[in-house]
Amino acid sequence: MGGFFRMPSDLQHSYLALVGWHLRLALVPVLIGLLIALPLGQLCVRFRWIYGPVLGVSTVFYALPSLAIFVLLIDWTGQTDTTVMIPLTLYTLVVLIPAITDGVRSVPEETHAAATAMGFGPVRRYVHVQLPIAVPAIVAGLRVAAVSSISMVSVGMLIGNEGALGNLLADANQYHRPILAWSSVITIAVIGILVDGVLVLLRRLLTPWAAR
Amino acid sequence: MNLFHFLNAFFSDSANWSGADGIPQRLLEHVEYSLLALGIAALIGLPVGLVTGHTGRGGNALALLATAARALPTFGLLVLLTILMGLGLTPVMVPLVALAVPPILVTTYEAVRTVDRSLVDAARGMGMGPLRILAQVEIPVALPLILSGIRSAAIQIVSTATIAAYVAFGGLGRYIVDGLSQEDYTKVVGGAVLVAGLALVTLGLFWLAGRLLVSAGVRRSR
């Protein structure tokens, strides 16, 4: 296993630094995606008719290949982290918007009415009743978005070493060191599964009332 | 130098329209890889999803399997398998199939499992066996969702088949990968727009398939 954790010097990162960079490239987009999808999802709940078009637009974004968006963005954002994070952010929407919309819609009418009767205004009702009940659905969406995002970052390697752990793949080819490709694939898969586990844990913490 | 300039230069160059590196040839290769990968993924995902959805068992195991497959980095797997097995179709197909199986499998399972129980009970009451219930009740009712799972898999395959060019394969990715290494931006933009266009056409085809295949009664009730 010699070389699994020892990174070639041209990467200018230690193994752990690559992992950190990879997580940042993959998860910042999920966070931004969530911040965009929460209000959009709420709009879709309030105005049913916009749900179809919103979902349609996000599906079209999703159909645009990451490599294609990367190269088209280089003109504006250069070979930077931003270039990698923009398409990843767009991709999360196709998962997160339906997760949030369906989750909030699944709140029973009686619960909604009870909150109103207790004097909850729209904002408090949203934060204290609708969102918590929607947590399982939202976390389910976050899991898919986060794991896919972690797996997709590597393609950034093709636009000039912007793929964090994916950059190992170019070196594996160039230096004929398969161990580097193993290191890349295994590490990415493991952090994907770990992040998935953390999100499951988060759901349990946020929904203590749910049956185990 | 803007986008349209590159596009115009790419698509008006007659050298790009014929021969082994011509657009028709590359497009054909891209569609071939995509269809093959989607076909294999559907052969794995659909039967397993239908059976587990029908019995309602194995959901946890499927979710675990889907997470594991999703966690596998497609591009990394492609490079690793190519290093291990040499250039060939298998190193390209394995990652694409691994990418496409989870959406097909999980969506099909969920679609069949969540079919209104009273419909299934009515069918059973009418004397239908499990196979007829699956074929005549569960699949037609679940079809819109099942199609959306296959659609999502197809779009991911079409987008991702681009990276096959990195390991010396054809397809539309050739333009992007070659263009990047030759610093020929016209080629890169042309290839990127072609892949995006093909993905959008795929989206349109599935919309059409939904209109044609989903029974009118099911469509109205949604």
A-chain CB neighbours of B84 within 8 Å are 178
Q: What percent of chain A shows pLDDT beyond 70?
A: 98
Are B38 and B157 in contact by the 8 Å Cβ rule? The answer is yes
Q: Are B192 and A151 in contact (CB < 8 Å)? A: no
DSSP B164: G
How far apart, in Å, are the Cα atoms of B24 and each of A77, A93, B14, B170, B188? 32, 33, 12, 12, 17
Asked if residue A2 has pLDDT above 70, the reply is no
- Mean pLDDT for A26-42 is 95
CA distance B130 to chain A (A): 31
Of B71, B73, B84, the CB nearest to A178: B84
CA distance B153 to chain A (A): 10
Within a domain: residue A6? no
Are B24 and B171 in contact by the 8 Å Cβ rule? The answer is no
Nearest-angstrom CA–CA distance, B80 and A111: 52
Nearest-angstrom CA–CA distance, B22 and B29: 11
Nearest-angstrom CA–CA distance, B68 and A183: 17
- Mean pLDDT for A61-69 is 80
What is the structure's pLDDT at B222?
A: 52
Q: From the CB of residue A35, how many other CB atoms can be counted at a distance below 10 Å?
A: 12
Tens digit of pLDDT at every position of chain B (222 positions): 577 778 888 888 877 887 778 888 999 999 999 999 999 999 999 999 999 999 988 888 888 888 888 899 999 999 999 989 888 889 999 999 999 999 999 999 999 998 988 999 999 999 999 899 999 999 999 999 999 999 999 998 998 898 888 887 888 989 988 888 888 888 888 888 898 889 889 988 998 998 999 888 787 665
Within a domain: residue A80? yes
ipTM of the complex: 0.84
**Which residue out of A102, A106, A185, A212 would a mutagenesis test of the B interface target, given it has the greatest number of B Cβ atoms within 10 Å?**
A185
Q: Are A157 and B189 in contact (CB < 8 Å)? A: no
B-chain CB neighbours of A166 within 8 Å are 73, 75-76
A-chain CB neighbours of B159 within 8 Å are 63-68
CA distance A151 to chain B (A): 4
Within a domain: residue A185? yes
Chain A: residues touching B (Cβ < 8 Å): 59-60, 62-69, 71-72, 75, 143-144, 147-148, 150-152, 154-155, 157-159, 163, 165-166, 169, 172-173, 178, 181-182, 184-185, 188-190, 192-193, 196
Q: From the CB of residue A118, how many other CB atoms can be counted at a distance below 10 Å?
A: 11
Residue A91's domain comprises 12-206
Q: What percent of chain A shows pLDDT beyond 90?
A: 45
Burial B73-94 (b: 16+ CB within 10 A, else e): bbbbbbbbbbbeeeeeeebbbb
pTM: 0.87
Q: From the CB of residue A96, how many other CB atoms can be counted at a distance below 10 Å?
A: 25
Which CATH number characterizes residue A193's domain? 1.10.3720.10
pLDDT in tens, A185-195: 999 999 999 99
A192: CB partners within 8 A, 6+ apart: A146, A147, A150, A151, B67, B70, B71, B73
CA within 13 Å, CB half, B120: 18
Within a domain: residue A212? no
What is the structure's pLDDT at B205?
A: 93
A-chain CB neighbours of B188 within 8 Å are 71
Nearest-angstrom CA–CA distance, A164 and A184: 9
CA distance A113 to chain B (A): 25
Nearest-angstrom CA–CA distance, A160 and B218: 49
Within a domain: residue A182? yes
| Token pair in block for residue B116 | 């209104």
Q: What are phi and psi of A75, to 5 degrees?
A: -55, -40
Closest by CA to A165, choosing from A1, A3, A7, is A7
Q: Are B155 and A63 in contact (CB < 8 Å)? A: yes
CA distance A117 to chain B (A): 31
Q: Are B202 and A157 in contact (CB < 8 Å)? A: no
For residue B89, the surrounding DSSP H or E stretch is helix B89-113
Asked if residue A1 has pLDDT above 70, the reply is no
pLDDT in tens, A88-141: 999 999 999 999 998 998 888 898 899 989 999 888 988 888 888 999 999 999
SS3 at position B24: helix
Are B78 and B167 in contact by the 8 Å Cβ rule? The answer is yes
**Which residue out of A143, A151, A196, A212 would a mutagenesis test of the B interface target, given it has the greatest number of B Cβ atoms within 10 Å?**
A151
Domains in chain A: how many in total?
Answer: 1
Nearest-angstrom CA–CA distance, B103 and B83: 28
Closest by CA to B107, choosing from B69, B25, B50, is B50
Question: Which domains are present in chain B?
Answer: 3-221 (1.10.3720.10)
In A8-140, where do the E strands start and end?
Answer: none
Are B189 and B3 in contact by the 8 Å Cβ rule? The answer is yes
Are A93 and A61 in contact by the 8 Å Cβ rule? The answer is yes
- Tell whether B197 lies on the interface with A, counting CB pairs under 8 A: no
Are B188 and A71 in contact by the 8 Å Cβ rule? The answer is yes
Within a domain: residue A152? yes
What is the structure's pLDDT at B59?
A: 83
B139: CB partners within 8 A, 6+ apart: B50, B112, B146
